[in-house]
Amino acid sequence: MGQRLHPYDYVIFLIYFVVVAGYGYWIYHRKKAAEASSKDFFLAEGALTWWAIGASLIASNISAEQFIGMSGSGFAMGLAIASYEWMAAATLLVVAVFLLPIYLRNKIYTMPQFLAQRFSPLVATIMAVFWLLVYVFVNLTSILYLGALAVSTISGISFSVCIFGLSLFAIFITLGGMKVIGYTDVIQVLVLILGGLATTYLALNLVAEHFGQQGAWSGLALMREKADSHFHMILNKGQMLMPDGKGGLEDAYEKLPGIAVLIGAMWIANLNYWGFNQYITQRALGADLPTARAGLLFAAFLKLLMPVIVVLPGIAAYLLHQNGYFQKEMLDVVTPGSAETALKPDRAYPVLLELLPTGLKGLSFAALTAAIVASLAGKANSIGTIFTLDLYKKYFNREADEAKLVRTGRIAIVIAIAIGAVVAPALSNFGQAFQFIQDFTGLISPGVVAIFVLGMFWRRATASAALAGALATIPTGLWLEKMFVGMPFLHRMGWVFLILVSLMVIVSLLDKRGQQRVRTIEVDPSEFRTTTSFAIGALLIVGALAALYIVFW
């Protein structure tokens, strides 16, 4: 195995740290005059360019859960996991065309604000609490856990120290507000792409060298030949058994059930994440429509590249492992304190990084850290935004001035990251962290999508219906999980969505009094038309996706 980080690697990492921190500090002081505005702090209103919006979307999205979790899933089930990335590119186009105009026309700044404006403050408050709990206890904790695991494996620094260091770095970036996050994310995404591509190149080259050849293209061809089972996008039941991280095997179909990734509940997961998620949409809510759309189109193009960075290394690690590489390093205890070990797919990427030569290891280390910190900062800012604007200002201090709101947001950010750091070690009990995230967020995704879609496109949807949908989301998901043991979670999400839509329609039609008090939002269909340049870019993305699924079906 490779050695720990060399002093040269630390120098490269230090350069990255100084550049990001220094640039963030400069942006903060340059824009300090507008700091008193809560919209400026949380949204960077009117300040982000299209390329900053697109880069920030990707930097915030691609984190340890992709680098580590998705690479681990690549090790376990192969290219099929790339559906989350490639279908996200298509989803971004839908969001840009149909959802952004509605948000911007109605001056929506937070997702709970939309619910309050369309339905009622009660619905908004319930969903705000749901989002905060998921953001803090699922997303934030998983990013910290996977990030600390990777950094600790590569550097040899203790897991606890890594969690503390990542938390501190993220707090430093986040407290500067969305402008600092948005513009430092441009550097972060550049570093993570360069470092990620370097890791992929070295992984493919290692595969080639093991079989007596050279070059990344030779390595890719060998992977297609010798790990053909890992190059299928659409999985059939029983087609692939993969390690579950607990010493056993599970059917990959349970995680990605066949055609559902194209025409099923994968759309629900993606629409929830990219269209109705404060963490993501916040980056575009402070811009005008052409700028926001261009930013989402740029992000969609970057999404096409992501599986090369986060999935191919996992497949390379699988093939190398099958041929005798890092046998012990891929093992971990099943439960803390036990002597029983199991193959842990989430160790694939950190262990692979140890094989990199001096210099490139430092660049990849910086890329991984950039992804972790950018995602932590974006998530924490969204937590601060929802807590401050949708809970604190409404229920605790209605008369709070702008400075007080910004200060409250900063306090919420620090507390949220602190909670995440304390809870993160508990995730060691799960097999694959990426699937852990999908399973838990899948409990509320169907309800969120049902409420927003009906709220936007069906004028008769009432507040009572939205409340019923919000309250029934988690119980319905848990009930289906109990009644139909073994049902793939994407299928479960799809059924929950259909049940909730039916429930909301029935409640709305029966709620005669609610029909008389229904709140509406402005929807102008003419705004769904796009510019010629956007349409051309969208067609290129759709064409690329069609080609990828045809080739790797």
pLDDT for the residue numbered 1: 42
The identity of residue 484, as a single letter, is: F
Q: Residue 359 above 90 pLDDT?
A: no
Q: Which of 320, 323, 314 is nearest to 348 (CA)?
A: 314
Q: Residue 391 above 70 pLDDT?
A: yes
* The two three-digit tokens of residue 132, written as one number: 């905060």
What average pLDDT does this structure show over 93-107?
A: 92
Q: How many CA atoms lie within 13 A of 414 on its CB side?
A: 8
Tens digits of residue pLDDT in 43-80 = 655 567 888 888 888 877 777 667 777 888 888 888 99
Q: Which residue has the tokens 């935004």?
A: 385
Domain locations along the chain: 7-441+523-551
Pairing of strands 241-243, 249-251: antiparallel
Q: Residue 32 above 80 pLDDT?
A: no
CA angle 231, 233, 236 (to 5 degrees): 100
Q: Which helix (H) or strand (E) holds 250?
A: strand 249-251
User: What are the two backbone dihedrals, phi and then psi, of residue 251, each rounded to the nearest 5 degrees?
Assistant: -80, 125
- Cβ neighbours, 10 Å, residue 161: 13
Confidence of residue 418 (pLDDT cuts 50, 70, 90): very high
pTM, two decimals, is 0.84
Q: Which of 176, 186, 183, 189 is nearest to 413 (CA)?
A: 176
What average pLDDT does this structure show over 280-296?
A: 85
* The two three-digit tokens of residue 119, written as one number: 């339905």
Q: Residue 459 above 80 pLDDT?
A: yes
Q: pLDDT higher for 29 or 530?
A: 530
Supply the DSSP symbol for 230. G
Q: What fold characterizes domain 7-441+523-551?
A: Sodium/glucose cotransporter (1.20.1730)
pLDDT for the residue numbered 33: 47
Average pLDDT, the chain: 83
- Cβ neighbours, 10 Å, residue 516: 8
pLDDT for the residue numbered 433: 55
What average pLDDT does this structure show over 102-125?
A: 90
